[in-house]
Amino acid sequence: MYCNQCEQTFRNSACVNSPGTCGKDADVQSLQETLLYGLKGMAAYAHHARRLGHHDETVSAFIEEALFVTMTNVNFDPEALLDYCLRCGEMNLRVMELLDAAHVETFGAPAPSQVREGTEAGPGILVTGHDLLDLWELLCQVEGTAIRVYTHGEMLPAHMYPRLRDHPNLAGHYGGAWQDQKREFAAFSGPVLATTNCVLIPPEQYRDRLYTIRATGVPNARRLPDGDYSALITAAQTCPPCPEAPAGESTIGFHRQVLLDQAPTLVEAVKSGAISHFFVIGGCDGAEKGRNYFTDYARATPPDSFILTLGCGKYRIRDHDYGEHLGLPRLLDMGQCNDAYGAIAVAAALAEACECGINDLPLTLVVSWFEQKAVAVLLSLLHLGVRGITLGPNPPAFITPGVFAILQQRYDLRLTGQDPEGDLARALAAA
């Protein structure tokens, strides 16, 4: 691990120089990296919100201050750095709130929706990433053509917003999580637009069909001018058309407001025992071994419980029929990773109605871990004092054993094990 204080590397848990020489040890470095990754994730959400006209100067001021804290010879105090990490979580909560408001204001009040999966016959464009404004601008520019636009990955929740869902050129959804894109993009016959993070360097099979915009870029792909999709549209008209290949339907769109409208029913069901438990199972997915834990955990949940899911981690659990409970699907897809704000808002409302704290609810969070946005969301949960979060399949590589021990002690942060059914049984017994 690199030490930016003495420009050396750590050996084991200490700096090459004595800790007194540069005042730096592995735990301090770990907390600084945690703060930096949280800031990166928060900045991505803030960028999306700002493009839609929503920003908060308090957040911008904190980003400046927090980056200053990570500079050379500024802060070597673990407690102070941990406090900055928690403040980052607080600011990220505000940013997710801004983005939620921006999405609703721009694209309409979300509602549960049936989404067609697969492709229709004719020219098509596939849009991946997170930025709903890019999708909207593209739809406006293809309007009046025969081009069908499909969402991929974290763009799936676009279909819960009426302004996007009702556009005549939005055809449906194609494919799954980001780590499967090399196979899925190669099989898609039209061009692909990557709007944000979670894009892989393309192999030769579709390199000339991959387009990127603004911050997103990969070697040898084609970059679009901001807001100008003409080259992408031309490519869709010259590429081979998509085949007629339906792949079923899925139900999405259980945005926070949809669930908050159901709050009186849910609260009464919790109090009467008709709902045994709520599980939040989702987050940022990855390709390494061990992530079947989330699949097995979700399928073992009892039939009188609900699963809230969001982020690309949903693709680990969505291809299963969980049935219904109290007239609702047991699997409630709340949206993108930034819609963790919605899950927090729903939990807070249920706790208030039940006259208890969030940690007293029959609620378990099982979060798949991968990248910087996940750091920001985790810090938001810790800022709120949420305890007992299960994280996995591996601890973040930049979290030292010493820092993880602190998080375990203060927040009962846990790692996924090898026994999802046993972990589930213990969560239910502790509720």
Question: Is 22 annotated as a binding-site member?
Answer: yes
Residue 387 CB: number of other CB atoms within 10 A?
Answer: 16
State phi, psi for 261 to the nearest 5 degrees: -65, -25
Answer whether residue 8 shows pLDDT above 70.
no
pLDDT of residue 252: 97
pTM for the whole thing?
A: 0.92
Answer whether residue 120 shows pLDDT above 80.
yes
Same domain, 154 and 197: yes
Q: Please write the tens of the pLDDT for every residue from 396-406.
A: 889 999 999 99
Domain count, the chain: 3
Higher pLDDT, 415 or 54: 54
- Cα(50)–Cα(67) distance, integer angstroms: 20
Q: Please write the tens of the pLDDT for every residue from 262-292.
A: 999 999 999 999 999 999 999 888 777 768 9
**Confidence band, pLDDT 50/70/90 cuts, at residue 335:** very high
- Cα(192)–Cα(188) distance, integer angstroms: 8
Same domain, 166 and 17: no
Answer whether residue 1 shows pLDDT above 60.
no
Question: Is 312 annotated as a binding-site member?
Answer: yes
Domain that residue 391 falls in: 252-430
pLDDT of residue 12: 38
**Confidence band, pLDDT 50/70/90 cuts, at residue 133:** very high
Question: Is 6 annotated as a binding-site member?
Answer: yes
Q: Dihedral, CA atoms, 291, 297, 299, 303, nearest 10 degrees? A: -160
Question: Is 356 annotated as a binding-site member?
Answer: no
Question: Which DSSP string do the residues of 206-231 spell out, in sequence order?
Answer: TGGGEEEETT---TT-EEEPTT--HH
Question: Is 239 annotated as a binding-site member?
Answer: no
Same domain, 93 and 125: no
Give the total residue count for the chain. 431
Pairing of strands 210-213, 222-224: parallel
Same domain, 86 and 150: no
Over pLDDT 90: what percentage of the chain?
Answer: 84
pLDDT of residue 20: 40
Q: Please write the tens of the pLDDT for every residue from 34-64.
A: 999 999 999 999 999 999 999 999 999 999 9
Which H, E and C letters describe 340-354, residue by residue?
Answer: HHHHHHHHHHHHHHC
- Point out the domain boundary residue: 107, 134, 150: 107
Question: Is 130 annotated as a binding-site member?
Answer: yes
- Point out the domain boundary residue: 188, 217, 248: 248
How many C-alpha atoms does 240 have within 13 Å on its Cβ side? 8
Question: Is 242 annotated as a binding-site member?
Answer: no
Question: Is 3 annotated as a binding-site member?
Answer: yes
Same domain, 137 and 275: no
Torsion over CA: 294, 297, 299, 303 (sign): negative
Question: Is 140 annotated as a binding-site member?
Answer: no
